[in-house]
Amino acid sequence: MAGDTRIHSWALIGLTLVFSIQTVLAKESGSASVSVIKKDDGKPLVDAIVKVIPLDSANMNLKDHIGFTNASGEYDFAFRKPVVIQISHLGYTTLTDTIYSSARKTYTISYASKEVKDVVITGQYSPNSIQNSVYEVKVLSAETLKAKGANNLREALQNELHIDLGQDQVFGSNVSINGISGEGVKIMVDGVPIVGRLDGKLDLSQINLNNIERIEIVEGPLSVIYGTDAMGGVINIITKTFQEQRVNLNLKGYYESVGQYNIELNTGFAFKKNQIYLSGGRNFFDGYTTLDSIPRYQEWKPKEQYFADAKYIYGGNRFRFTASASFFRELMLNRSAPKQTLSYDNADTTWTYRGDDIKYLTYRPRAAVSFMYRFKEDYQLDVLAAYSGFFRFTNKYYKNLVTGQEHLVNDPEVQDTARYHEVLARATYSMPAWKNRINFQFGIETNQEFTKQSHIKSGEQKEADYAAFGSVRLSVVKGLDIQPAIRVVYNTRYRVPLIPSVNVKYGYKDFFVIRASYGRGYRAPSLKELYMVFFDSNHAIKGNDQLVPENGHTGNLSVNGYINKGRHKVHLSASAFYNNINDKIDFAIYSAPFPPDTYQYFNLKKYITYGGNVGLGYTWKRLSFNTSVLLTKYELSNLHNGSDRVKTFSPDFIASASYLIPKAEIGINVFYKYDGAKPLYSVSNSIQAGSRGAYHMLDLSLSRNFWKDRIQVVVGGKNLIGVKDVTTTGVEAVGHNFDPNLANVGWGRTFFTTLILHFSK
């Protein structure tokens, strides 16, 4: 009996031990759960990325996996061994923790606005930090634009290095990057190209900055990703895509002493997985002239603009759907000086004074639909379909300046209706391999352009591109990224060569980053360059259907170093660029026995720009300071063998500073730019070289918030040095300037006030 008792006791102990082991194993091999809530309002954070990494990385049976929090902010996963979890979401801080047993844990995550500013999307596989981008991306934040008092893209780019602005009083302002201008710079809003170039110029003053988050600028060719007219670089305007509050309302009023009165309203609504943004407003400019002795005529034409935008977003990090629409209307008036003539109003033939006025009515509609789906970590599909339009109605009137009556001039040579339509469809797929050491991106794109106008051959023309492109990002060595890419294009008019590029980035910790890039640029002639036929008393412009596409090679190199000593932060930078363009499309002049001379598009055989800059940035507490100097060399040749060559040189310098006065809470911002002499040239039998004079620009602003940031006030002065016109030498400017030996730069010293009323909850 005693033996049986001992046997039963040992059996009981064994069963108890087995049960305990099973209980422990069940506990260790059960399920774990994390719950993520937002710190600001205590609500669940939906679609947060939860990455689970086993601590026992040597065990091949244990693999990393990733998931997303559900509508309740929760994520469940099977637990076998201790793991490290990483929780992240765009716009929020990243949390990391170690879980040693199956349990339910709750994490509170806070909003990180500073991180959002550092995220860029232009040319990226997915939203990426500036530090990790293989491209050198310049970002102008909404705060910087507010300090500048910038209402449109021209004012935003006024004091930026590597960027030069030109002005035509009818075609508007235009931009060049590192010497490449006009059709060679692609301007987009959320990746949708803006169309409607006149004489190769896209009027930057027609691109409003309402409801935007930032502007991203990439120098150098992005033709592989964005196709034609991205040879010199890309300017991408990013509208708002995220807001923390449920309701956000901003009413903005702007006044500038030159006679500019603007008002706009921006609203945003966020509920569950939905976001809606609405904005609209009116800009009015009364016109300005330095020629006070000429009645009625104004160099800077009066204009009135109306605009409205709408944007809807649904989804989170895994899935996102966006639909947007934009409308813009501008009426610009070009008034002539009075002319004495006979009046024919109501059969009255007495002498009177008449004005020959031209009204330019412009519409810019734009619509886009995009879809993003992330299958799992970094496996992402993006689809974009967009329409961009441009309509310009030009009508000339005879106005009786005594009676005020107007008569439309019945002459088809001076009346014009121009319509441009561009339809874009693009799909890209990004995927990682070999533990994210290799990343691929593949894409297809179609781009179709149509135009219909009276001053174009046959009245209607069209052109289309069909392209496939791909790139691979290699990150085999820590800190080193190599990204080769290629684009294959079928154009309905031209045979397009393969367009390759390669970007290299090396970063050592947080100390420095080196970037180098090479790309082949390509641009087919626009429909206007091919088929324009326009003659009147002041103009004679002809297209050329024998034009060949532009093609070239570009290279960029940049080095950025960072020194952080407590509150002292120093940023040292240096960069160099080289652009070599063959068959650049431009104007040639053909003299006529009577004015006007004829301007016809032609291919300039060789156009080269190269240069470099060095910069210094310093930040300490509430003080920041940046300065940089740029030297650019231009070489032009009308013959491939290098004869008939012109060489010019141009320096530029910028400096900016900001400081926040602690007790007064007043922000001070200063922006300065020295814009060196820029080359001008014209071609008839040979190249005639000239230059546009150098000038200085200085802006100053003060800003302060009141009533818990519900009221924001910015006051300041623009162009405090008072620059208006600069002299051109050697070559007369092609355009609508009253004096061809003067180039309009600004309307002199002005002062502005911005008032913003902000409400959110």
**Which residues, including other chains, have CB under 8 Å from residue 256's CB and lie 6 or more apart?**
149, 718, 750, 751, 752
**3-state DSSP call for residue 425?**
strand
Reported as a pLDDT band with limits 50, 70 and 90, residue 685 is low
Reported as a pLDDT band with limits 50, 70 and 90, residue 644 is low
Neighbours of 303 (CB within 10 A): 19
Q: Please tell me whether residues 264 and 148 are part of one structural domain.
A: yes
Q: Please tell me whether residues 292 and 336 are part of one structural domain.
A: yes
Reported as a pLDDT band with limits 50, 70 and 90, residue 127 is confident
- Rounded CA separation 631/650 (Å): 6
What are the pLDDT digits (tens) for 356-365?
Answer: 899 999 999 9
- Rounded CA separation 99/102 (Å): 8
Average pLDDT over residues 296-314: 94
Q: pLDDT at position 104, please?
A: 82
Q: Please tell me whether residues 573 and 689 are part of one structural domain.
A: yes
The region of weakest confidence among 111-115, 243-247, 258-262, 679-683 is 111-115
The region of weakest confidence among 460-469, 650-659, 660-669, 684-693 is 684-693
CB of 365 closer than 8 Å to CB of 403: no
Q: pLDDT at position 243, please?
A: 81
Reported as a pLDDT band with limits 50, 70 and 90, residue 245 is confident
Average pLDDT over residues 38-56: 80
Q: Please tell me whether residues 96 and 126 are part of one structural domain.
A: no
Q: pLDDT at position 539, please?
A: 60
Note the pTM of the prediction, 2 decimals: 0.85
Q: Of 602, 604, 590, 603, give the one whose Cα is nearest residue 540.
A: 590
Reported as a pLDDT band with limits 50, 70 and 90, residue 739 is low
Q: Please tell me whether residues 613 and 741 are part of one structural domain.
A: yes
Domain ends where: 62, 88, 111? 111
Reported as a pLDDT band with limits 50, 70 and 90, residue 7 is very low
- Rounded CA separation 483/134 (Å): 8
Average pLDDT over residues 78-104: 79
Reported as a pLDDT band with limits 50, 70 and 90, residue 116 is very low
The region of weakest confidence among 273-282, 508-517, 579-588, 650-659 is 579-588
- Rounded CA separation 207/201 (Å): 13
Task: State which residues form the domain around 7.
Answer: 2-111
Q: pLDDT at position 19, please?
A: 42
The region of weakest confidence among 153-162, 195-204, 363-372, 587-596 is 587-596
Q: pLDDT at position 721, please?
A: 96
Q: pLDDT at position 91, please?
A: 63
Q: Please tell me whether residues 95 and 170 are part of one structural domain.
A: no
Note the residue count of the chain: 761
The region of weakest confidence among 4-13, 172-181, 195-204, 672-681 is 4-13
How far does CA 381 lie from the centroid of its chain?
A: 22
CATH of the domain at 103: 2.60.40.10
Instruction: Reply yes or no on whether the pLDDT at 432 is more than 50.
Output: yes
Domain ends where: 55, 83, 111? 111
Q: Of 168, 190, 192, 169, give the one whose Cα is nearest residue 181.
A: 168
Q: pLDDT at position 27, please?
A: 42
Q: What is the DSSP string of 293-308?
A: TSSS--SB--EEEEEE
Q: Please tell me whether residues 276 and 127 are part of one structural domain.
A: yes
**3-state DSSP call for residue 26?**
helix
**Which residues, including other chains, have CB under 8 Å from residue 659's CB and lie 6 or more apart?**
622, 623, 624, 667, 668
Q: Please tell me whether residues 561 and 665 are part of one structural domain.
A: yes
**3-state DSSP call for residue 15?**
helix
- Rounded CA separation 143/281 (Å): 20
Neighbours of 230 (CB within 10 A): 26
Domain ends where: 111, 141, 165? 111
DSSP class of residue 11?
H
- Rounded CA separation 296/59 (Å): 83
Residues of the chain by 3-state class (helix, strand, coil), percent to 5: 10, 60, 30
Q: Of 36, 94, 136, 5, give the one whose Cα is nearest residue 615.
A: 136
Structure tokens at 112: 């990180």
Instruction: Reply yes or no on whether the pLDDT at 14 is more than 60.
Output: no
Structure tokens at 685: 């039998």
- Torsion angle of C-alpha atoms 224, 230, 231, 233, degrees rounded to 10: -110
**3-state DSSP call for residue 345?**
helix
Mean of all residue pLDDT scores within the chain = 85
**3-state DSSP call for residue 735?**
coil
Which of the given ranges, 12-26, 330-344, 546-560, has the highest pLDDT on average? 546-560
Average pLDDT over residues 609-629: 95
CB of 195 closer than 8 Å to CB of 422: yes
**Which residues, including other chains, have CB under 8 Å from residue 222's CB and lie 6 or more apart?**
122, 123, 135, 186, 230, 233, 234, 519
- Rounded CA separation 355/335 (Å): 7
Please classify residue 106 by burial: count the beta carbons closer than 10 Å to its beta carbon, then call 0-12 exposed, 13-18 middle and 19+ buried: exposed
- Torsion angle of C-alpha atoms 112, 114, 116, 121, degrees rounded to 10: -150
What are the pLDDT digits (tens) for 134-143?
Answer: 999 999 999 9
Q: pLDDT at position 405, please?
A: 86
Q: pLDDT at position 16, please?
A: 46
Q: pLDDT at position 1, please?
A: 47
- Rounded CA separation 754/336 (Å): 33
- Rounded CA separation 321/314 (Å): 5
What are the pLDDT digits (tens) for 375-412?
Answer: 876 789 999 999 999 999 989 998 888 888 888 888 77
Choice between 581 and 110, residue whose per-residue pLDDT is larger:
581
Q: Please tell me whether residues 309 and 351 are part of one structural domain.
A: yes
The region of weakest confidence among 328-337, 531-540, 712-721 is 531-540
- Rounded CA separation 546/603 (Å): 9
- Torsion angle of C-alpha atoms 216, 222, 223, 224, degrees rounded to 10: -120
Neighbours of 411 (CB within 10 A): 9
Q: Please tell me whether residues 164 and 82 are part of one structural domain.
A: no
- Count the domains in the chain: 2
Number of alpha carbons in the 13 Å side-chain half-sphere of residue 737: 21
Q: Please tell me whether residues 10 and 93 are part of one structural domain.
A: yes
Q: pLDDT at position 26, please?
A: 40
Instruction: Reply yes or no on whether the pLDDT at 149 is more than 90.
Output: yes
Average pLDDT over residues 220-240: 87
Q: Please tell me whether residues 16 and 143 are part of one structural domain.
A: no
CATH of the domain at 470: 2.40.170.20
CB of 579 closer than 8 Å to CB of 606: no
Instruction: Reply yes or no on whether the pLDDT at 23 is more than 50.
Output: no
- Rounded CA separation 721/168 (Å): 22
% of the chain with per-residue pLDDT over 70: 87
**Which residues, including other chains, have CB under 8 Å from residue 144's CB and lie 6 or more apart?**
none
